[in-house]
Amino acid sequence: MNDALNKLKMTALLAGDLAVLYGALLATLFLRYGAGFYGEPLALHLEPFSAVFAVWIFVFYVAGLYDLKTLKNGLGFSKIFGISVVVNGAIAIFFFYLVPSFGIAPKTNLLIFLIVFGVLGYYWRHLFNYLLSAGSPPNKIILVGSDEISKEIAAQIKQNPQLGYEIKFWMKEGLGDKEMGHLAQIILANDINVIAIPSHLKKNFSAARAIYRNLALGIEVIDLASLYETVFQKVPAGELEEVWFLDHLAKSRKVYGVVKRPIEFILAVFAAIILLPLMAAIAIAVFLFSGRPVVYKQTRVGKNEGNFTLYKFRTMKKDAEAGGAKWAEAGDRRTTGVGAFLRRAHLDEILQIFNIIKGDISFVGPRPERPEFVEKLKAEIPYFEIRHIIKPGLTGWAQINYRYGASVEDAKQKLQYDIYYLKNRSLLLDAAIVLRTIKMFFISLK
């Protein structure tokens, strides 16, 4: 419904960023060298700055500056943009002064460039964000129903006009709404192009007939679950039934499955070698401040509900679970001093690189739960077992979109994100999740 438009927006944003980056470079050279900047100075600076710009765009992506949900003018956006420019400035200094092949060390030019880009980039982004929220949204919706899902959708769309949706009419009484008989007039008067209805109404003869009569007006009919998924990037558990899984999760992903495992194995081996000194340092710290054992082994539930042993650095006291299995919580008193830091930075999970090498888990997937919790959650949350049709992951869509889970309600919320991932999983989505996980790692160190 809105994917093509969102891609167009992101393409325009990327093109604008590149234009501002190169425009700031040209302005910098003009300020330094005058009209003669177009010759040797430009040739000397163009290639190395282009390499730096590629890294800058990557940093912007990791920071969330290409995420439509965050592109709203305000203090939060200004802070993210400012931090990103500072980080990119540090990266540029590293490149120019520690990479001899660049051949330049532009002290004054780099300072001028950072100032020029900081100003131009901020105002360009501010304008883009304003244009996203201003004007008439392309998707004008009639919302049918008044359940919790409808209310969540209405609130989210109202708070985020940059998503491109506007609820022009809300039939809270569903089929019993007094305006249902004037559907055509409402569509024409409000320039409606989307009707969002609960999935069960599609099976209702009266509702189907009433809506069918208006298809000639150019409207698109979607169910609330699809709109909810687009707006929140998770699947509403309350709207799911067995046929939904047959329609959306039964598709074969043979190429994805064949390609993913060897890529993950190679990356995991490479990561294990690179991170070996860090692992050794963590092991020493755990031993010195908390004693043995350094490595904590825990049974988790994996693909097809098979159990496996998960490796972590120990972060809790030795008798932490003397009374039985218990969810970890923020500020958990069972955590050791060094363990609290490891948990906050997620460094306790670094050993799971070896679980990836073994094939127990993937880099990306639903986080594996303990058998004790799985049985409880399966009994209380419909379709919870569906998350076990693929390998669990070191990180996942739920992990980057929802806080640390410590209750049945948290598990229910995270399941909605897990199901979204199951439906949309791809190498591109996996890469995006890994990049956002890296961003969360650095945020956790603050």
Q: What is the DSSP string of 374-411?
A: HHHHHHHSTTGGGGGGS--EEE-HHHHHS----SHHHH
User: Does any domain span residue 243?
Assistant: no
Question: In terms of residue numbers, what domain contains 19?
Answer: 3-133
Q: Are residues 302 and 210 in the same domain?
A: no
Which of 133, 164, 190 lies at the terminal end of a domain, its last residue?
A: 133
User: Does any domain span residue 173?
Assistant: yes
Q: Are residues 52 and 161 in the same domain?
A: no
The pLDDT value recorded for residue 223 is 85
| Rg, the chain, Cα only | 26
**Closest to 223 in 3D by CA, of 205, 244, 249:** 244
Q: Are residues 341 and 327 in the same domain?
A: yes
Q: Would you write out the chain's pLDDT as a tens digit for each of its 446 residues? A: 556 777 888 889 999 999 999 999 999 988 888 877 777 778 778 888 898 999 999 889 888 888 877 777 877 788 888 888 988 888 888 888 776 666 666 778 888 899 999 999 999 998 998 887 776 778 899 998 888 889 999 999 988 888 888 899 898 887 777 777 788 888 888 888 888 988 777 777 777 777 777 777 888 888 888 889 888 889 888 777 777 777 777 666 777 888 899 999 999 999 999 999 999 999 999 999 888 899 999 999 999 999 999 999 998 877 666 556 666 666 667 788 788 888 888 889 999 999 999 999 999 999 999 998 999 999 999 889 999 999 999 999 999 888 766 788 889 999 999 999 998 888 888 988 888 887 777 666 55
The pLDDT value recorded for residue 315 is 87
User: Does any domain span residue 85?
Assistant: yes
**Closest to 87 in 3D by CA, of 445, 429, 384, 431:** 445
Which of 232, 266, 283 lies at the terminal end of a domain, its last residue?
A: 232
Query: What's the CATH code of the domain at 204?
Result: 3.40.50.10700
Which of 111, 133, 155 lies at the terminal end of a domain, its last residue?
A: 133
Q: What are phi and psi of 232, to 5 degrees?
A: -100, -15
The pLDDT value recorded for residue 321 is 63
> What does each C-alpha distance from 17 to 49, 75, 103, 201 come to in angstroms?
14, 20, 25, 44
Dihedral angle of Cα 188, 192, 193, 196, to the nearest 10 degrees:
-130
Q: In what order do the strands lie in the sheet with 139-144?
A: 165-171, 139-144, 194-197, 220-223
Residues 6+ apart with CB under 8 A from 252: none
Q: What is the reported pTM?
A: 0.76
**Cα 253 from Cα 242, distance rounded (Å):** 20
Dihedral angle of Cα 324, 329, 333, 337, to the nearest 10 degrees:
120
Q: Are residues 96 and 150 in the same domain?
A: no
Counting Cβ atoms within 10 Å, is residue 216 exposed (0-12), middle (13-18) or buried (19+)? exposed
User: Does any domain span residue 440?
Assistant: yes
Q: Are residues 290 and 404 in the same domain?
A: yes
Dihedral angle of Cα 352, 355, 356, 361, to the nearest 10 degrees:
-100
**Cα 341 from Cα 87, distance rounded (Å):** 23
**Cα 121 from Cα 19, distance rounded (Å):** 10
> What does each C-alpha distance from 427 to 7, 204, 254, 364, 432 come to in angstroms?
18, 39, 12, 10, 9
Q: Are residues 203 and 146 in the same domain?
A: yes
Q: Are residues 324 and 379 in the same domain?
A: yes
Q: Are residues 113 and 164 in the same domain?
A: no
User: Does any domain span residue 240?
Assistant: no
Question: CA triplet 278, 279, 285: central angle to 5 degrees?
Answer: 90
Q: How many residues does the chain have?
A: 446
The total number of structural domains that make up the chain: 3
> What does each C-alpha distance from 233 to 66, 188, 224 come to in angstroms?
15, 30, 13
Q: Are residues 298 and 203 in the same domain?
A: no
Q: Are residues 107 and 169 in the same domain?
A: no
Q: And the tokens for 234?
A: 């998770």
Q: And the tokens for 174?
A: 């569903």
**Cα 17 from Cα 10, distance rounded (Å):** 10
Q: Are residues 123 and 143 in the same domain?
A: no
User: Does any domain span residue 303?
Assistant: yes
The pLDDT value recorded for residue 421 is 93
Contact 346, 441 (CB under 8 A): yes
User: Does any domain span residue 150?
Assistant: yes
Among left, alpha and beta (phi > 0; psi -120 to 50; other), residue 233 is: left
Residue 445, number of CB atoms within 10 A of its CB: 10
The pLDDT value recorded for residue 219 is 85
By three-state DSSP, how is residue 164 classified?
A: coil
Q: Are residues 276 and 415 in the same domain?
A: yes
User: Does any domain span residue 61?
Assistant: yes
**Distance of alpha carbon 96 from the chain centroid:** 32
